[in-house]
Amino acid sequence: MFLRVDKLQIELPAPAQMDPNAGAALQELLGGKYGEMSTLGNYLFQSFNFRSKTKLKPFYSLVAAITAEELGHVELVSNGVAMLNNGPDEPDGDAGDGGDISQAPYEAMNDIRLAAAFLSNAGGAMPMNSNGASWNMDFVTTTGNVVMDLLHNFHLECGARLHKLRVYETLTDPTGREICGYLLVRGSVHAHAYALALKKITGVEIEKMLPCPNINLDKIPESQKYLAEGSHCRLYTFSPQDYADIAGIWGGGEMALPGDPPGDLEVIEGMPDGGKIHDLTGVPSAFTPDYAPEEMFEIATKLYKKSR
């Protein structure tokens, strides 16, 4: 089972301006081959299909716990896409923008790279890549063989890191850069964790291949605060009570990756503090809520009060 907490893993800075093409680039990190939907989908189905769960407990727990973190990554990138597609909230966006729908107020949307993101999804995120191609099961590997799955996951996290670097190199907006800076740190942890798991089973010191690609996180300004707080040394259980046994794989040693600040690898039961979810405004002329929005807001307020 899964529980949901109404926070993002980190607080995102507001976008500087509306930039749908940047939002589209960020889609590569959501629905691309090495995007968050892929890491999620792989670990989700691997954990469901895991054989000998009890006898191989810490390995199972590792995949199961990281799955939950990936859900939050899908959420984080999706929020970023929507924020970049829509731009900064206007103070009274919800209250009605006075836009005249007969005057082609969204003409500019014809020329964005992924027009359907506006036409069908109102600037929201979708499980697709930066070219508008859908995520699908061809991105999921679940073989029933533990070593094979772990090796795949190690390669997947390295690929994800490469793609995050490339997307980062295209973005100027603080929202998207913050996401990349954070995910590079967390992705490095995951690659590292899978490497240690592989080493436990096979004896191969595959973690010495890290960082792969070979760009240290100290070159990414947006990653520094996460390194400073030790995020690169922490693996979360993302569970109220389960999966603490991942400490058998992660823990009891020191961070030894080049370019990462030193520290002890530690398992944190639960999740990070997280940050507030951005409140997209409604812009009635484009998103055309039924019934005057004021009326809907009033209904919602009444229901909210009633519920408390």
Rule CB under 8 A: is residue 160 a binding residue for a copy of itself?
no
Residue from the set 135, 182, 194, 226 that interacts with a copy of itself by CB under 8 A: 135
Q: What is the C-alpha separation between 24 and 22, in angstroms, rounded?
A: 5
Residue selected from 13, 230, 248, 259 as contacting a copy of itself according to rule CB under 8 A: 248
- Smallest gap from Cβ 134 to a copy of itself, in A, equals 4
Is residue 98 within the footprint of a copy of itself (CB under 8 A)?
A: no
Applying CB under 8 A, does 287 fall inside the site for a copy of itself? yes
Q: Could you say whether residue 258 binds a copy of itself (CB under 8 A)?
A: no
Indicate whether 22 belongs to the interface with a copy of itself (CB under 8 A).
yes
| One-character DSSP codes across 12-73 | PPPPSS--HHHHHHHHHHHHSTTSHHHHHHHHHHHHHH-SSTTTTHHHHHHHHHHHHHHHHH
**Counting contacts by CB under 8 A, is residue 254 touching a copy of itself?**
no
Q: Answer yes or no: are the C-beta atoms of 29 and 179 closer than 8 Å.
A: yes
The helix (run of H) or strand (run of E) holding residue 224 is: helix 224-228
- 12, 15, 36, 74: residue in contact with a copy of itself (rule CB under 8 A): 74
Of the two residues 254 and 306, which places its CB atom closer to a copy of itself in the complex?
Answer: 306
Residues with Cβ within 8 Å of residue 90, at least 6 apart in sequence: 97, 281
Binding status of residue 7 toward a copy of itself by CB under 8 A: yes
The torsion angles phi and psi of 249, rounded to 5 degrees, stand at: -100, -45
Of 278, 236, 276, nearest in space to 71 by CA: 236
Stretch 194-233: interaction string toward a copy of itself, x if CB under 8 A: ----x-xxxxxxx-xx--xxxx---xxx------------
* The two structure tokens encoding residue 190: 């995951």
User: Which residue of 82, 179, 233, 257 would you call a contact of a copy of itself, by CB under 8 A?
Assistant: 82
Instruction: Report which of 21, 12, 10 is spatially closest to residue 280, judged by C-alpha positions.
Output: 12
Is 257 near a copy of itself (CB under 8 A)? Answer: no
* Interface size with a copy of itself, residues (CB under 8 A): 171
As to burial, measured by CB atoms within 10 angstroms (0-12 exposed, 13-18 middle, 19+ buried), residue 89 is middle
Minimum separation from the CB atom of position 255 to a copy of itself (A): 18
Q: Is 193 in the site for a copy of itself (CB under 8 A)?
A: no
